[in-house]
Structure 1
Amino acid sequence: MFSKNAKFTTTTSLTPEKTSNQRNLVKGLVTAIGLALVTGPLSAQEGLSDDKVRIGVLSDMSGVYKALEGPGAVVAAQMAVEDFGGKIMDKPIEIVSADHQNKPDIGASTAREWIDADQVDMITALDNSSVALAVQGLASDKKVITMNTGAGTTALTEEQCTPYGIHYVYDTHALPVGTATAMVKNGGESWFFITADYAFGHSLQQNTADVVKELDGEVVGNVNAPLGTTDFSSYLLQAQSSGADVIGLANAGQDTVNAIKQANQFRIVQSGQKLAGMLVFITDVKSMGLDIAQGLQFTTAFVWNQDEEKQEWSQRFYDRHGAMPTMVQAGVYSAVTNYLKAIEEVGTDDSDAVRKQLGEMKLNDMFVKDGEILANGLMLHDMYLVEVKKPDESGDDWDLLRVVSTIPAEDAYIPLSETQCPLVNK
């Protein structure tokens, strides 16, 4: 094999005609070798890079977000592979998983090992915004696609967008569009926030506050609570003493459950203030029970029994996981499915080719209808404003929500014309 430093010489004993022919031959060889060095083997962009597709599910497997994504995300990914047929282009599809422990350094080091040593082709889940930003940046530097289903910060598709980063299920702009708008229009004009003290919480508070102010409401105060807080009493007392119409919970998972349960003990709602759960999952409602959660409104991307297709898939998920799927677990199934469809369509797992195809596809499955992935990585789709049912309205243990209204995709998300993503030419 020729080295790119190879040198070619001609001898002065050749005749002028032979010398000219020799030089033409050498010129042709050098051109061909140079082209090969630039483009690599012709088959490099075709087929699977290591005769398999390996997908990493990186989630909170043991902490405050375990129930909302965690092991259930692995189940959803496995179901996607099985429903796809277990193979792609007659090669195996593998799922690997790990616990990021809600620590960006652990998430990034896991992703680096997966990519460098284990040849992971795509990473999904990532249910913590600080972890998600760290992993998306690292993976993009290595030209690996991330399909984020669990984190909320808009930074993923705004100022920290990347060529290979996709934000799939929801973001902190879409959540308040439905919830905050409904509450302000129903008299909740002044707000006080209890905020998870990291990227997700601050992003959610800011985006919700923007919606409140646009509707001529006001924010009268806020307090930050560490991730994993178990005692919200001091934060709730500050919110209660503020006199705000609405106490906005800019947190998620067990933090939200703990805050709402303790607010009920303080009889905050009974005293006239309203609670706004800015990110609530069906597992949270189940944990609280309808007696406590009834009447709570929030925005979601998925309701398991909204139609027959969702219900059929959700029942299969329940049979394996023991709980109905959250929107992010359903999102993992959809993300993995559409990633595999893109590979099959282009005939390669090359990230550039797959990302381009994902951007050209209409996404249709049990989770999303007519979804599309924009140039900044945002997956554009409808959202739903829902309300928790009263106990006498529920038909069974998981019949917990009713859809109040559909929020069209174009209303839910930041328009591409207004994005701060540097990859987008506006």
Structure 2
Amino acid sequence: MTLTLAFACGFCVAAGPDWREERWVVEEFTHVLGGGPEGGPLAQAGGEVYALCGDHEGRLFLASGQFIDIVTPDGMRSHLAGTGEPGYRDGPAHQAQFRLGFNAYYGAHNIACGPNGVFVPDGGNRAVRRIYKRDGVWQVETWAGGGARRTGTGDSAGAKDMRFSGTISLAVSPSGEVTVADDGGYYRVSADGKSIRYLGPWPQSTSRNPDRPPKLNIMMGDADAHGVVYFVSRTPDFVIRIDPDGTATHLAGRFVEVATRLSIGDGPPREAFFDTPTSIAVQPDGSAAYVCGGDEYDIRRVPTDGNGTTATLMNNGRWGIASIHPNRSRGAAVVKPNATGRLRPDGELTDLMVSHLVGRDAQGNLYGAINFWTGMTQYVEGRGLLGTRLFRLRREAAGGRS
């Protein structure tokens, strides 16, 4: 089952060549609506997925509970790392333990694929863990964090000596460097994993009080093919860009005193309001970042050069004001794939009631999750029920080519 959708933003200024011609196809992916087996073919496999990344070999890696799963290019899903029980253990992947903390105070929604492995922000252990192959066998090791050291801006330390605070998220550049974010600032781990440098605090414009350093609740990160890194923060609600030289820029988002329907909408990135976003994914070419989650059930496109305006890819309203909302009091969420309206209350709903972006693959295709709300169903208008709770948004080239 597929359906094609286009951006619901006819008034936006282009921030890249022909971006308004982008077309995306919605496809069933994994985790059937009625539950399913722990592994097996994608359209049958069960298990929650809250983070995903893809490598250039066509494999996908999924964070699910205390497991890291692998999806092979032939479409089979199975456990790769973890015992399923929370803890802390390095070594052979099937014996390793994580404390990933989904729905816990230290939880984030992040996993990142790099040229030197798959990296997991293990918030419960305040560490970054790496999954990699050695002599043909998958292994898990601690890559950074777990120590007691704090440093000043620009100072370096042994990667495992550093102490992180709050939630931690990460992104991996094509060089293999890992950028780690916590509530107070951001760090960079060398590609060999030996050293870490504290790059500095978050931009002062993300603090309500000019006399106090910002504290951000970083939820997720991603990097493009040029080594530019992006993070999204939830309450306060911002998108941060970090260039390869370590300079951090407040790219998008603003403070509002009261989140009303009049304060939510597309506009210049620094003037746009994001309502408790939980996820971010970046196009590999660096042209755009996509933000979603929290009390927004749409996917917002953010031009990464900071110019032009944000735009809405999927738009289904927000908690408490959605015209069609996935619970018994409002009925089934209905997809209108041909709708061309703008954000509510100005236009019609356009597509799936996505509650979170779990990540992207190496080609830039997005993966969205439908939440488990009481009485929720997810119908595609004219096509019936979408068969899986995790779906892929496959981007087509101009003229409908994949």
Superposition TM-score, scaled by structure 1 size: 0.28
* Greater share of strand: 2
Rg comparison, structure with higher value:
1
* Greater share of helix: 1
Superposition TM-score, scaled by structure 2 size: 0.29
